Amino acid sequence: MRWSLPIAALALLLASPAPAAAAERCGGPAVAGGAPPVVFVVLDGNHSAETESGRAYPLPVARPARGIPVVSSYCPVTAGGAVRRFPPGLDAGLRRMAISDSAVCRSPGGLRTDSCLLARLADAGAVVLPFSYAGSALEPTPAGAVFSFTGYDNPDSIQPPEVSVARLEAMVASIERTWPATAIVVGAHSNGGMVAEAMWEQRAAARRLGNLVRVYTWDSPINGIANCLLGGALLGDLLGEKIGSSRAVAAEWCRRWGDRDAHDARIIELSRDGSFVAAGAPNDATYANGPLSGGGELRPQLVYRCPDDGSRADSPCIASPPSLVGPTPTCDAAGPGLFGVSGHDLVRVCPRIVRHQLATVVAATDDRMAAVPACGAAPRPRPGTIALDCAADGAVVRDLRWSSWRFAGAVGTGVLECRRASRTRCAYRTPRRVRVELSAPTPCARARRFAYGTARVPRVRTARRHRTVLVGALGCTRR
């Protein structure tokens, strides 16, 4: 099954300011038919650890088994403002997601901003589950689904990447088996992003994304790092792998850095459905070009469509989508930061990046849609007509009837009219009923919303008198 998400919740959320605050803005997880509409899986990178193992019910249950705690809220603070403690196995990962050593979620106004991602996800009703490098899984029980987490330490976080990828794949597959109708979003920090990207790439290349609707990487070496041998083999081996990384991780950094242009081309091709997003921050010291840092500046973190040294945050080579860069000085690691957060953690609290992830999650809980029916028009729910050419007498598809409308794509049938201005591409002289496919959900340039970026009409007779695919770039409204 290919899972996808509707657009309208993205459009409404990104176009709207943050909702008014209440005493505790974070709510409990949403439930429909005994399962949540969306699970957000979070990965940490090197040096992360959660040594406690544990089992917990990620949703409230009527009769929990003795000794298994229940998570009733994923809000990082209680109604009284105290830091919330989560059950063993979940606590460290979720608190790191809230940047627990800063004021980002605890200060007045923290929960009300687009910086405390965990609070916003909780407010949207998401279930948030941390990944374990030693193994984690969701399993059905008579009382309700139970999440099992095996404690891990730093050596586990720098194990051979293929081991970590297999364990992430196993965790995602366990969620799909237990909650078959639940969408899965992954957010992964630092080297965890390299693991998440590899898992996504395997699924995308095999065309089996399943319930995995989107993967986000945060300041992650998806293209490897320039100083791969120094950053990995030297520090890891000489210091007993207490800091740095293992030889296997270093080898993967080197492989990706040497293959970065071809690798990014593959990402762009595989992410036409918008299922992968790389988020980065300029001037992160982790990727500085000094002798004892990773090197490469932005180039390790983002997806590029042409060779580039990664030194400019406004480089035309950055492929956006599928890349996001926080555009404000507060989201530059050399700037003042946000709520006391700067450096390698900064990307996780940048408002634009948080909003993008929140919009994806909200879309899983909302059945409304949005698309661009005509060039320059505002996105609308399930339009009856879509223009494939911006010319006044260009090709249009009218009388549309939609059989599927989800985040990664929509499918319908309609009547194609190859009007005069479009005859160089479309050879039909009388209207024909055709299949229409929408894809590439794209964040609009000025409006805080998403819209499908591409419309495809397969098996259309073209001016060369053979059947091919007619493609129209829908674009975004600028209002």
Q: Provide the residue type at 87 as one letter.
A: P
DSSP string of 103-149, one letter each residue:
STTTSTTTTTSSS-HHHHHHHTT-EEEE--TT-EEEE--TTS-EEEE
Whether 455 is covered by a domain: the verdict is yes
pTM of the model: 0.78
Residue 14 has pLDDT above 60, yes or no: no
Higher-confidence position of 16 and 109: 109
In this prediction, residue 477 has a pLDDT band, given cuts at 50, 70 and 90, of: very low
435-to-51, 382, 415, 457 alpha-carbon distances in Å: 53, 15, 9, 6
The pLDDT of residue 340 is 85
Decide if 122 is inside a domain. Answer: yes
In the prediction, which pLDDT does 467 show? Answer: 82
pLDDT tens-place string over residues 25-61: 687 898 877 899 899 999 999 888 899 999 999 999 9
Distances (CA, A) of 477 to 11, 445, 448, 455: 11, 8, 10, 16
Residue whose structure tokens are 């992160």:
284
Q: Which residue has the higher pLDDT, 438 or 237?
A: 438
Residue 372: inside a domain, yes or no? Answer: no
Neighbours of 296 (CB within 10 A): 25
Q: How far apart are CA 340 and CA 134, in angstroms?
A: 32
202 and 298 together in one domain: yes
d(CA 133, CA 432): 54
Q: Give every CB contact of residue 75 below 8 A, 6+ residues apart in sequence.
A: 24, 25, 26, 27, 84, 111, 118, 119, 122, 123
292 and 401: one domain? Answer: no
pLDDT at residue number 450: 61
Length of the chain: 479
With a cut of 70, say whether residue 97 has pLDDT above it: yes
| DSSP 3-state of 354 | helix
Domain presence at residue 2: no
Residues 354 and 394 in one domain: no
Q: If you compute the radius of gyration of the chain from its CA atoms, what whole number of angstroms results?
A: 23
Span of 27-31, 42-46, 170-174, 280-284 with lowest mean pLDDT: 27-31
In this prediction, residues 236-249 reach a mean pLDDT of 62
Residue 376 lies in a domain: no
- Residue 195 is predicted with a pLDDT of 98
Write out pLDDT tens, residues 341-370.
899 999 999 999 998 998 888 776 554 446
Query: Are residues 210 and 2 in contact, defined by beta-carbon separation less than 8 angstroms?
Result: yes
Provide the token pair at 319. 């492929």
pLDDT, averaged across the chain: 84
| CA proximity to 219, closest of 95, 100, 341, 70 | 341
Domain count, the chain: 2
pLDDT of residue 291: 74
Angle (nearest 5°) at CA 476 between 384 and 383? 10
66-85 tens-digit pLDDT: 999 999 999 988 877 788 89
Query: Residue 263: CB partners within 8 Å, gap ≥ 6?
Result: 222, 223, 256
Which of 147-161, 248-262, 370-384, 465-479 comes out lowest in average pLDDT?
465-479
Report percent pLDDT > 90 for the chain.
Answer: 51
Question: Is 179 contained in some domain?
Answer: yes
pLDDT category at 441 given cuts 50, 70, 90 is low
Q: Are 456 and 13 in contact (CB under 8 A)?
A: no
CB 191 within 8 A of CB 43: no
pLDDT of 377 over the 80 cut: no
How many C-beta atoms lie closer than 10 Å to residue 284's C-beta?
25
122 with 18, same domain: the answer is: yes
Do 359 and 403 lie in one domain? The reply is no
* pLDDT attached to residue 1: 38
Contact 9, 359 (CB under 8 A): yes
CA dist 335 and 285 (Å) reads: 12
Instruction: Dig out the tokens for 51 from the structure.
Output: 């040594």
Per-residue pLDDT band at 380 (split at 50, 70, 90)? confident
243-265: average pLDDT:
89
- Looking at the fold, whether 297 and 426 belong to one and the same domain comes out as no
More confident residue, 357 or 231: 357
State how far the Cα of 208 lies from the Cα of 191, in Å rounded to an integer. Answer: 24
Q: Tell me: do 347 and 432 sit in the same domain.
A: no
* Residue 134 in domain: yes
Provide the 3-class DSSP secondary structure of residue 10: helix
Mean pLDDT of 364-390: 74
Domain containing 13: what range?
A: 8-363
Same domain as 156, residue 45? yes
73 in a structural domain? yes
Cα 176-182-187 angle, rounded to 5 deg: 85
Taking the C-alpha atoms of residue 331 and residue 350, their distance in angstroms, rounded to an integer, is: 6
Q: Is the per-residue pLDDT at 20 higher than 70?
A: no
Say if residue 391 is in the same domain as residue 353.
no
Do 80 and 137 share a structural domain? yes
Q: What percent of the chain has pLDDT over 70?
A: 86
Tell me: do 312 and 419 sit in the same domain: no
CATH of the domain at 112: 3.40.50
Beta strands in 286-355 (DSSP E): 323-325
Q: Which are the contacts of 153, defined by CB distance < 8 A and separation ≥ 6?
A: 49, 51
**pLDDT score, position 410:** 85
- Check whether residue 77 and residue 159 sit in a common domain: yes
